[in-house]
Amino acid sequence: MLLHIPQVLSPAEVVDCRQRLNQAQWLDGRITAGSQSAKVKHNQQLPNDDEQAVAVRKVILAALEKNDLFFSAALPKRIFPPLFNRYSEGMTFGNHVDNAMRRITDTGEWVRSDLSATLFFSDPAEYDGGELVIEDTFGLHEVKLAAGDLILYPSSSLHRVEPITRGTRLASFMWLQSMVKDVGERGLLFDLDTSIRQIRAELGDTPTAVQLTGVYHNLLRKWGEI
């Protein structure tokens, strides 16, 4: 499932975060690449402990915690602390699959990458190229979203970032371990939760809505792990 989540960050938050990121000290993006992806990765990245990265990371996590659509789709158990990358002219990231397990440096905790997410800080008009291309069983999907918007997709997907031919692409990326490991079960729960929300918005808390809510939570109880 690919899901576009609009306006995770407000325009004001985007401006503030970009100002902070522009003050940061960017390094070669291969600092977090695995052995395979390092061969095709050509971008810039911030170290985990960069002062500006730490500040912006807090803004992102706070925004995600309040986003109902994100929670419904991801059912996050753990979120790898958001990282930041920058692509300028000629930079690219070739086809790769994200590592299955990621270790959080500060805590030593491991995170299974069920889902990947990219949060955009640059508007599409600011750069040419730089599309996030995700390949799944339905074909290729090109993603280039407005600043403040996020794309959520399976970490098992083959994906790449097309070469930049003009401007600069600034984004945050992260991995998530879901409370529901199975992608099919997680998708069914998301569809059911979406339908319940629509029923409640249109008809209120009808007996049917209450019953379906019970079904949702019983399935989550059956499939979820915490």
Question: Residue 213: its pLDDT value, please?
Answer: 98
- Residues 6 or more apart from 93 whose CB is under 8 A from it? 29, 37, 40, 41, 42, 43, 87, 160, 161
pLDDT score of 1: 85
What is the model's pLDDT at position 28?
Answer: 84
- The 8 Å CB, 24+ separation contacts for 57-62 are 57/81, 57/82, 57/172, 59/9, 59/13, 59/16, 59/17, 60/8, 60/9, 60/17, 60/119, 60/172, 60/174
Is 6 a residue whose pLDDT tops 90? yes
Strands 150-154 and 110-112: unpaired
- Average pLDDT estimate for 14-25: 96
More confident residue, 35 or 55: 55
Tell me what the pLDDT averaged over the chain comes to. 94
> Could you identify the residue written with the tokens 């069983």?
137
What's the rounded mean pLDDT across residues 70-76?
Answer: 98
- Among the residue ranges 42-46, 65-69, 145-149, the one predicted with the least confidence is 42-46
pLDDT band at 5 (very low <50, low <70, confident <90, very high): very high
pLDDT digits (tens, 9 = 90+) for 158-167: 999 999 999 9
* Arithmetic mean of pLDDT, 184-210: 97
- Beta-bridge mates of residue 175: 116
Answer whether residue 122 shows pLDDT above 80. yes
pLDDT value, residue 33: 56
pTM exceeds 0.85: yes
Domains of the chain by start residue, with CATH: 3-178 (2.60.120.620), 183-223 (4.10.860)
Q: Decide if pLDDT at 117 tops 90.
A: yes
Strand, helix or coil at 68?
Answer: helix
